[in-house]
Amino acid sequence: MPESLLKAVNITKNFPGVKALDKVCFELQAGEVHVLFGENGAGKSTLIKIFAGSLIPDKGEILLKGSPVSFRNPYDARKKGISAVYQEFSLINQLSVAENIFLGAEIKKIGILDDKKMLQKAEKILNELNFPLNPKKKVGDLKRAERQMTEIAKAFKNRIKILILDEPTASLTDMEVKRLFEIIKNLSAKGVGIIYISHRINEFKKIGDRITILRNGKNVGALDMAEAKEEKLITLMTGQSVKNIFPKIPFKTNEVILSVKNLSTRDGLKNISFDVRRGEILGVAGLVGSGKSRIGRSIFSLEEICAGEIIFEKKQIKKISPKNCIEKGIIYSPADRHKEGLVLCRSVKENQTLASISLFERRGFINLNKETETVRKVVDKMSIHPPDLDRKIKNLSGGNQQKVVLSRGLNQKIKLFIFDEATCGIDIGAKHEVYLFLKEQILKGAAVIYISSELPEILRLCHTIMVISSGEISSIMQSEDASEEKILTNYFGMEAV
């Protein structure tokens, strides 16, 4: 048995109203790549933040090489050789790559910054990692993948014993992923322990040695990678068998409802053409930053379109605005429900009718009774919990908030739903309900554009799958012909196929 580098015993962490971690045990060995797997909100991020010192556990113990440690801040953890690379970047756009790498750990000579030395060291780190980056360049001018490299390089400025990577490949190309994997293998050969968070089963199977699965803040299993079959992982992750989570949604060929022709936008979509039919779920897959979200946004007129046309029900949509779209029967539910979906300080009722208040108006006044009645029915139907219409929506769980957003389409006749990351950050029960909602709309004859980063959803729910890469359609396939492998290769553009 190799020595245990990091050991966490019964870690518990509470946030207001949620038990983020519940007596989680975790063990990392030297030279091991340990994958952390689970749904959004399962507690992965909380756990690694505790390891990296940016959160303090309520209860439990962390042992580093057998001796107990307690980190009060990230600096403590870094001193002990633990570095974390987060999904959200902690970079300052106005500073250069080198300045960012040494942020908080500047090299000084008699109190004055030694820029030359930092530049040299930064260059050395980048060379070792084989990242083609100019350390003098401002981070604000870099592409997303390059920023990711900067973020990784930051972790390497110290001698590290443990490296934590939170979805590091989310915005890297195939080549860059290969290079990153080489680096990871190199490090683990040197005895560095690596905690690797990822959702991509096929990807982490290539690199991981062991895998720990979290669900609802609990450790539900630690397996050797060889035992980790996809079905088993999904079952562990969700607590249910695959069959029970994803409803079978039948597809009958129908007339085209929306047709997008040669659409280009100012911010990156190039020559997009596709059709959506009544009763069809069109899945849109792609990496973060691939432009998949922009497709939904541009149809809902949230992006500036510079060429192409959008034809809805055989008529070209000319003057487009969200208002216009909703009146025509198109509704969009945004990926970030807090930022764009909800008015957090207002009630469930007001949020539910936000897009349809005119339906309740009579002679200039809102018929509050009619509104309450309608929302009451929706809340019952969607089993929104707690069923208190006047409760401020910020006091609901993520899943219930999302149900309120989705349910907006029920108040009026909606013919096309555009969902962007509809199940992000909600628990499995709520996900299942979202899928059932989808199914119901499809059976009623609506069409759905389903934009998602979760491949199981794309593969198991959608009838047609469109993969976006660098703002272009890299392939459109029928669900029967699709596989995770096939979608992933298309993530990196057509040339990779």
Partner 1 sequence: MNLLKRIFVKVGILPFLLIILFILFSIAESRFISISNILNVSRQATYLAIVTTAQMMTILCAGFDLSVGSSVALTGIAASMVMVSIQDPILAITLGILTGIGVAAFIGLINGITIALFGVSPFVVTLGMMSVAHGFALLISGGAPIFNLPSQLNQTLGIGKIGGIPIPLLMACCIIAIIYIMLSKTRVGRYFYAIGGNKEAARLSGIPVKKYTCLAYVLCGILTGIAGIMLTARVASGEPNLGSAFPLESIAAAVIGGVSLRGGEGNLIGAIFGAVLIVLIRNGMDLINISSYLQMVVMGALLIFAVVMDRLRLSIKSV
Q: Which residues bind partner 1 (CB under 8 A)?
A: 16, 300, 302, 321-327, 332, 334, 339-346, 350, 354-355, 357-358, 361, 364-366, 368, 408
* Inter-residue contact 41 to 425 (CB < 8 Å): yes
Q: Which C-beta is closer to partner 1: that of 405 or that of 434?
A: 405
* Helix (H) / strand (E) containing 393: none
Quote the least distance from Cβ 338 to partner 1, whole Å. Answer: 8
Q: Which C-beta is closer to partner 1: that of 218 or that of 408?
A: 408
Quote the least distance from Cβ 388 to partner 1, whole Å. Answer: 16
Q: Which C-beta is closer to partner 1: that of 174 or that of 340?
A: 340
201: Cα within 13 Å, side-chain hemisphere? 20
Q: How far apart are CA 393 and CA 402, in angstroms?
A: 10
Q: Which of 262, 267, 263 is nearest to 290 (CA)?
A: 267
Quote the least distance from Cβ 332 to partner 1, whole Å. Answer: 6
SS3 92: coil
- Tokens 């970030």 appear where? 336
Q: How far apart are CA 59 and CA 50, in angstroms?
A: 11
Q: Which C-beta is closer to partner 1: that of 405 or that of 473?
A: 405
Quote the least distance from Cβ 367 to partner 1, whole Å. Answer: 9
Q: How far apart are CA 245 and CA 239, in angstroms?
A: 10
Quote the least distance from Cβ 398 to partner 1, whole Å. Answer: 16
Q: Which C-beta is closer to partner 1: that of 248 or that of 319?
A: 319
Q: Which C-beta is closer to partner 1: that of 253 or that of 369?
A: 369
Q: Which C-beta is closer to partner 1: that of 344 or that of 494?
A: 344
CB proximity list for 185: less than 8 A, separation 6 or greater? 207
Q: Residue 362 class from Cβ within 10 Å (0-12 exposed, 13-18 middle, 19+ buried)?
A: exposed
Q: Which of 286, 308, 289, 288 is nearest to 298 (CA)?
A: 308
Quote the least distance from Cβ 214 to partner 1, whole Å. Answer: 25
CB proximity list for 348: less than 8 A, separation 6 or greater? 375, 379, 384, 388, 389, 390, 391, 392, 393, 396, 404
Q: Which C-beta is closer to partner 1: that of 13 or that of 218?
A: 13
Quote the least distance from Cβ 336 to partner 1, whole Å. Answer: 9
Q: Which C-beta is closer to partner 1: that of 142 or that of 406?
A: 406
- Cα separations in angstroms, 404 against 46, 334, 390: 26, 13, 13
* Inter-residue contact 60 to 23 (CB < 8 Å): yes
Quote the least distance from Cβ 337 to partner 1, whole Å. Answer: 8
CB proximity list for 465: less than 8 A, separation 6 or greater? 282, 283, 284, 285, 458, 459, 476, 477, 478, 479, 482, 487
Quote the least distance from Cβ 363 to partner 1, whole Å. Answer: 10
- Tokens 């399962």 appear where? 42
Give the CA diameter of the chain. 78
Q: Which C-beta is closer to partner 1: that of 346 or that of 391?
A: 346
**Tokens representing 371?**
């509104």
Quote the least distance from Cβ 408 to partner 1, whole Å. Answer: 7
